[in-house]
Structure 1
């Protein structure tokens, strides 16, 4: 891929994430399972940081790892119904990564 196409792809992904964080995330009513369980950043913030530092192409393995963390966290929550989990959701749980 040419450098300009990669830069355009990175820019587009960052704009989509920022739009999601600004407009959809505040009204959706749930939080990323990884952010809830591990007490750290949410998937959107982590993926945004990955794209900024590595780009979408080189950062793809790290992005997949983040989404796997979210799946693991969601499964952990599902296996422990006594844990507080109101408003927690994994958007990729049914997708095999």
Structure 2
């Protein structure tokens, strides 16, 4: 499916698709928003926003989604956070390993 918003949206769409295929399956944790609320992962949700709105108009809804994901992490495991990964200035907590510590 092509993007109606030009080269930038197409490049972002391809970058997210590559992330979904290569990095996401290997990172060791799942999207907290998807786990807590069901539905799409954040990468799928942002990819859809970029496809429908274009890159610039997708920035605000994407930031809102990442904030909701950040809050979902606290819902799922408030005591298991080991660090943060900043995504566009938004700190996303993460943990390594399993729950059997």
Instruction: State the shift of 1:95 in Å.
Output: 2.4
- With CA pairs under 8 Å and 6+ residues apart, which has the higher RCO, 1 or 2? 1
How many positions carry a matched residue from both structures?
Answer: 84
Q: In the alignment, is residue 72 of structure 1 matched against residue 71 of structure 2?
A: yes
- Distance change >3 Å, CA 52–CA 91, structure 1 → 2: farther
Tell me the secondary structure at the aligned position of residue 44 of structure 1.
helix
TM-score for both structures, normalised by structure 2: 0.70
When you count helix as a share of all residues, which structure comes out higher?
Answer: 1
Cα RMSD, aligned residues only: 2.5
Q: Point out where structure 1 has 5 or more consecutive residues left out of the alignment.
A: 1-5, 82-89
Unaligned residue ranges in structure 2 (runs of 5+): 92-101
Tell me the equivalent position of 1:13: 12
Return the structure number with greater strand share.
2
**TM score, norm. by length of structure 1:** 0.72
